[in-house]
Chains A and B, each alone.
Chain A
Amino acid sequence: MNITDIVAVKNLSKRYGDFTAVNGISFSVPRGKIFGFLGPNGAGKTTTINMMIGLARPSGGTILIDGIDSVKNVKKVQSIMGIVPDESNLYDEMDGFENLCFCGSLYGMRKEAREKRAKELLEKFDLTKAGRRPFKKYSKGMRRKLTIAAGIIHEPEILFLDEPTTGIDVESARQIRQLLLFLKQGGTTIFLTTHYIEEAERICDHIAFIVEGNIVAIGTVPELMEMVSHGHTIRLAADTDLAQLAEELQAYFGECTVKTGTDHTVTIISKERIALSPILQYLDRHGISVFEAKELRPSLEDVFIKVTGIEAMELKKEKDKGGMGR
């Protein structure tokens, strides 16, 4: 375990009879970073999280959190963890303020300390007005925000979030992402599972893809992008004879590959970085008007498709049923 890592998982596995939910995975989470754990439904994400937080017993392997064996000393480790499950699991009968105070008390916080912190969190999450309303009357987004607030009331060193923005409105999801980045700035390590690839791309520093209980790719976001990046690509959309334009561009930019698309576009692919301005100047000199010029970058979704083998059509189906992407 590297001293900069807060989590070190080695050969972790979980079997239910003949079924292997998690198959000897190993990874580490650097301290103070956001670590995304991505995979399709049933890949083993929640099982892994449950083993890390102490809700499930591993069939094999070790989990060290802050240097402590979390299987043997689960209660010691739980004191530095914040946990936000995929469903809001606070108490419907209690109001927002009472829920937060109760969660603080579970971590041994004294009355004054937990009340002060609860007020701070309600304000931070824009829930002050709803603080005295019963939890059962909260909207989905508000429930989610209060559940996250409950997860951080004791200022944990590491926060586990299972699908933090699933099923909530765009504004609440944006607020949650901002809050996660704010927590990271404050030094909190965040381990999150998400179905939303774009969300992971936007906020995560490190990402692991898990499929059928195996980690199929792991690394920083730029490292993962490298897996699908085969040079630089620029796409132009112009209202002209595209075949001729492609020919001219190919002749002028000899080291590039130029292809025409079906949607009035021409794509220029180069191993080296291509600057947009010489291309635009060239087109301008030849009187060709371009109505769109864009550098195409590989996305994490491309990486996902490559490493999981899930085809675009299947990915779309997953998205439609609330699975991957957004």
Chain B
Amino acid sequence: MKTWIAFWNILKKDINNYYLKPPNISWGIIFPLSWTLMQIIRSSGGLNLSEIREILPGLMAMSILFGTTSMLAVTITFERKGRSFERLLLAPISLGAMVAAKLSGAILFGVFNAFVPLIFAAFFIDLTGIGWGTVLLAVLLIAVTSTLMGLMIAVSAKEVFEAQTLSNFFRFPMLFLCGLFLPVSSLPDFLRPLSYLLPLTYGTDMLSGAIIGRSMLSPVVCTIILLIFAAVLFTFCHYNIRRKWIV
């Protein structure tokens, strides 16, 4: 019960202090919105509504990726710099529970980001036929793995600007390698193995399968792979936090 009280209050504090701040809410709305508009305008030199559904999986995945990685990395680095993070390290709750509480805020923010393009698209296209269960699962798993990548960055960065730079270093190559804009099958042979090392590839594939009915792998396989990614990333981050932050 004590752990749950601490967990819930860390999550509530992060949501109030960081995620519900106007700049982040506007980022969460404007970023996916502007990408959606850009893709719509770009397609065939004008508004082509039939293409919205095609680009939806990529936009949702990208919105989650950008929302989660930088937010968690920046908030943790910011708290570490101000030493308020020490309070959490010194609280009598397990390191795993504390880290999970910190992750939860970013995961929820990522899920919120994912649904902005979807809600926006609902005004223009018919969304029937979408596998909602798979979409929800994919959104959640992409949010979890992207947040964990944000934590991995937070463990390595000492300054907020370092966290931002590192986030971009990871994110931009990922955009091109995980099938958001180009199908993985059309990538050059030497780049393709890299694509399969990225969790976003499997998340995007799940979303594509559920929204446009085209995927490389079955959602079950993608789910298993993403869960393995999540477990490995969590263990790696947990180990690194113990090693680097409790010196």
Interface residues of A (CB under 8 A from B): 53-57, 75-76, 78-79, 81, 83, 85, 87, 89-94, 102-103, 105-110, 150
Taking a contact as CB atoms under 8 Å apart, the answer to whether A55 and B246 are in contact is yes
The 10 closest A-B pairs by CB, nearest first: A108-B2, A105-B9, A79-B92, A106-B91, A89-B83, A78-B92, A93-B17, A89-B84, A108-B5, A106-B6
Chain B: number of interface residues, binned into ranges: 20 to 34
Residues of B74-88 whose CB lies within 8 A of A = 82-84, 86-88
Say yes or no for B13: interface residue by CB 8 A criterion: yes
Say yes or no for B24: interface residue by CB 8 A criterion: no
Main secondary structure of the interface of B (DSSP, over half): helix
Taking a contact as CB atoms under 8 Å apart, the answer to whether A56 and B90 are in contact is no
Taking a contact as CB atoms under 8 Å apart, the answer to whether B5 and A103 are in contact is no
Cross-chain contact of B94 among A75, A91, A110 (Cβ < 8 A): A75
Residues of B190-247 whose CB lies within 8 A of A = 246-247
Q: A78-B91, A93-B17, A107-B91 are in contact. Are A87 and B83 (CB under 8 A)?
A: yes
Taking a contact as CB atoms under 8 Å apart, the answer to whether B17 and A106 are in contact is no
Taking a contact as CB atoms under 8 Å apart, the answer to whether A92 and B94 are in contact is no
Closest CB in chain B relative to A160 CB, distance in Å? 10
Interface residues of B (CB under 8 A from A): 1-3, 5-6, 8-10, 13, 16-17, 82-84, 86-94, 246-247
- Name the residue of chain A whose CB is nearest to the CB of B89: A55
Taking a contact as CB atoms under 8 Å apart, the answer to whether B246 and A56 are in contact is yes
**In the complex, A54 Cα to B5 Cα: how many Å?**
22
Taking a contact as CB atoms under 8 Å apart, the answer to whether B83 and A57 are in contact is no
Q: A91-B13, A91-B17 are in contact. Are A105 and B83 (CB under 8 A)?
A: no
Taking a contact as CB atoms under 8 Å apart, the answer to whether B5 and A75 are in contact is no
18 A-B residue pairs with CB within 8 Å: A55-B89, A55-B90, A57-B247, A78-B90, A87-B83, A89-B87, A91-B13, A92-B82, A94-B17, A103-B87, A106-B6, A106-B10, A107-B6, A107-B92, A108-B1, A108-B3, A108-B93, A150-B87
Taking a contact as CB atoms under 8 Å apart, the answer to whether A102 and B5 are in contact is no
**In the complex, A57 Cα to B83 Cα: how many Å?**
18
In the bound complex, residues from chain B placing their C-beta under 8 Å from that of A57 are: 246-247
In the bound complex, residues from chain B placing their C-beta under 8 Å from that of A107 are: 2, 6, 91-92
**In the complex, A251 Cα to B9 Cα: how many Å?**
77
Closest CB in chain B relative to A105 CB, distance in Å? 4
In the bound complex, residues from chain A placing their C-beta under 8 Å from that of B13 are: 91, 94, 102
In the bound complex, residues from chain B placing their C-beta under 8 Å from that of A54 are: 89-90, 246
Taking a contact as CB atoms under 8 Å apart, the answer to whether B246 and A108 are in contact is no
- Name the residue of chain A whose CB is nearest to the CB of B95: A75
Taking a contact as CB atoms under 8 Å apart, the answer to whether A106 and B9 are in contact is yes
In the bound complex, residues from chain A placing their C-beta under 8 Å from that of B5 are: 105, 108-110
Closest CB in chain A relative to B26 CB, distance in Å? 18
**In the complex, A87 Cα to B1 Cα: how many Å?**
31
- Name the residue of chain A whose CB is nearest to the CB of B242: A57
Q: A102-B13, A108-B2 are in contact. Are A91 and B91 (CB under 8 A)?
A: no
Taking a contact as CB atoms under 8 Å apart, the answer to whether B93 and A106 are in contact is yes
Taking a contact as CB atoms under 8 Å apart, the answer to whether A85 and B6 are in contact is no
**In the complex, A90 Cα to B9 Cα: how many Å?**
15
Q: A54-B246, A56-B246 are in contact. Are A102 and B9 (CB under 8 A)?
A: yes
In the bound complex, residues from chain A placing their C-beta under 8 Å from that of B10 are: 106
Cross-chain contact of B86 among A76, A85, A102, A105 (Cβ < 8 A): A85
**In the complex, A282 Cα to B216 Cα: how many Å?**
108
Taking a contact as CB atoms under 8 Å apart, the answer to whether B6 and A108 are in contact is yes
**In the complex, A108 Cα to B94 Cα: how many Å?**
12
Closest CB in chain A relative to B18 CB, distance in Å? 8
Closest CB in chain B relative to A281 CB, distance in Å? 61
Taking a contact as CB atoms under 8 Å apart, the answer to whether A75 and B92 are in contact is yes
Taking a contact as CB atoms under 8 Å apart, the answer to whether B247 and A83 are in contact is no
Cross-chain contact of B90 among A53, A102, A110 (Cβ < 8 A): A53
**In the complex, A118 Cα to B225 Cα: how many Å?**
47
Taking a contact as CB atoms under 8 Å apart, the answer to whether A85 and B17 are in contact is no
- Name the residue of chain A whose CB is nearest to the CB of B17: A93
- Name the residue of chain A whose CB is nearest to the CB of B91: A106
**In the complex, A57 Cα to B9 Cα: how many Å?**
28
Closest CB in chain B relative to A268 CB, distance in Å? 53
Closest CB in chain A relative to B223 CB, distance in Å? 33
Closest CB in chain B relative to A114 CB, distance in Å? 9
In the bound complex, residues from chain B placing their C-beta under 8 Å from that of A87 are: 83
Taking a contact as CB atoms under 8 Å apart, the answer to whether B9 and A55 are in contact is no
